[in-house]
Structure formats: structure tokens, C-alpha cells
Amino acid sequence: MDIDVRKVADLARIKLTDKEADALGPQLNNILAYVDSLQKLDTSDIEPTAHPHDAAMPLRADAVTNTNRRDELQASAPKVEAGLYVVPKVIE
């Protein structure tokens, strides 16, 4: 199988330079060829494991535990104004 690396990069929101795309294409194909060894096993009756233990996800009480720390949390944002994150214009 041949992966369309540009299409995957678009899904992953990564702009690749042509040089990167040229290098990554064959590498991704090699990685997928390698992981294709999984297809050798018949797993039709096997339950998938998403979590190593059978433990149920516990729920905590639905209570407010955080204080308002907006300014501290926004201190590491690239661009903030009046408590809002600023991004390029989205709607024309």
C-alpha cells in the first residue's frame, strides 16, 4: 500500500516541506509494511484491550475544586487579550 503522506499530514494539521514529505513518505510505508506483520494472526474472536486492567473507570464527585486561575493559565499562551485567546480571523 502507498500512503498519501500529504493527505495524512493534512489530517494531522502539519504542513510539511517538500523535502520532509519526500523523506517521510517512504518511511511511513516502511513502518506500515513492518506493522502489517500483525495481519498474519487471526484475531477474529479476540476482544481488543484498550486498558491493561479490567477496572471500571471511577467517577469523582461533580464538585467544583478549582479556583479561577485564568491569568496564571493564560500566562503561557502566545497571544491573549482581555482574558481571551487571540487567533487569526476565522469568520469573514
Partner 1 sequence: MPFTSIVELKQRLDAGETSAEELAGLYLDRIEAHNAELNAFVHIDREQIMAQAKASDSYRAKHEARPLEGVPIAIKDIFCSTESPTTCGSRILEGFTPAYDAHVITQLRKAGAVLLGKANMDEFAMGSSNETSAYGPCRNPWDTGRIPGGSSGGSASAVAAGLAPAALGTDTGGSIRQPAAVTGIVGMKPTYGRVSRRGIIAFASSLDQAGPMTRTVADTALIASIISGHDAGDATSVADAPAVDWLGACGKKDMKGLKIGRPKEYFVEGMNAGVRESVETALKQCEEMGAEIIDISLPHTEYAVAAYYVIAPSEASANLARYDGVRYGRRCADPKDLADMYTRTRDEGFGEEVKRRILTGTFALSSGYYDAYYKKAQQIRTLIRQDFLNAFEQVDVIATPTSPVPAFKIGEKTDDPITMYLSDIFTIAVNLAGLPGLSQPCGFTDNLPVGLQWIAPAWREDVFLSAASAYEAATDWHTRKPENFS
Least separation in angstroms between CB 14 and partner 1:
5
Interacting residues toward partner 1 by CB under 8 A: 3, 5, 8-17, 20, 24, 27-28, 30-32, 34-39, 41, 43, 46-53, 55, 57-58, 60, 69, 72-79, 85, 87-90
> What DSSP string describes the chain?
----HHHHHHHTT----HHHHHHHHHHHHHHHHHHGGGGGS--TTPPPPSSSS-PPPP-----------HHHHHTTSS-EETTEE--S----
Closest separation between CB of residue 61 and partner 1, Å? 9
